[in-house]
Amino acid sequence: MAPGERSEEVHLWYTAVYEAIPSGKVTSYGHIARLLGKPERPRQVGVCLKHLPSASTDRSKKSSTFHSGNVPWQRVINSKGGISPRGPSAASHQADALRREGVDIREDAMGQYTVDLAKYGWFPDVLPSEAGLVESSDEEDEEVAAYHT
């Protein structure tokens, strides 16, 4: 393959992941991967979110058009309904963002956050962009945008 081809693929993957996060409710890393036709890559979805720039980062020059202010990163959790611990305050931050959207989060004695997937999970079988945007979720998205502003 030609030089640079690989990184181009990677860039497309990152973009696809950010655009695949559904409007409304909560979904999983694995489901995003399946929506993108790569069911074996849930970990790579996690990598994309890990590298999502924060909304406050200075991106006055080129850099990504995607950041925590316009990508609903908080809606992605693991298949068991848990928020990945990763850093010390990261999980609680995500839990706060979800509660802001009306999602009820439970915190156990171990400090692990979990979501009731039966109630809040949302696993569409087609990409949001292919399905047409869900009107009923517009105001939820506005709340998110306001939160990050």
Partner DNA sequence: GAACTGACTGGGT
Partner DNA sequence: AACCCAGCCAGTT
Inter-CA distances, 53 with 4, 49, 66, Å: 23, 9, 7
Q: What is the DSSP string of 13-34?
A: HHHHHHHHSPSSSBEEHHHHHH
Contact residues for DNA (CB under 7 A)?
A: 6, 9-10, 13-14, 28-31, 40-47, 49-52, 73, 76, 78-80, 84, 86, 90, 94
Q: Which is nearer to DNA, 9 or 138 (CB)?
A: 9
Distance in Å, CB of 94 to DNA, minimum: 6
Q: Which is nearer to DNA, 50 or 106 (CB)?
A: 50
Q: Which is nearer to DNA, 41 or 148 (CB)?
A: 41
Compute the distance between CA of residue 24 and CA of residue 11 in angstroms, rounded to an integer. 25
Distance in Å, CB of 43 to DNA, minimum: 4
Q: Which is nearer to DNA, 133 or 145 (CB)?
A: 145
Residue type, position 46, single letter = G
Q: Distance from CA of residue 32 to its chain's centroid?
A: 9
Distance in Å, CB of 102 to DNA, minimum: 19
Q: Is 69 exposed, middle or buried (0-12, 13-18, 19+ CB in 10 A)?
A: middle
Q: Tell me which H or E stretch contains 45.
A: helix 42-50
Q: Which is nearer to DNA, 47 or 127 (CB)?
A: 47
Distance in Å, CB of 79 to DNA, minimum: 3
Distance in Å, CB of 63 to DNA, minimum: 13
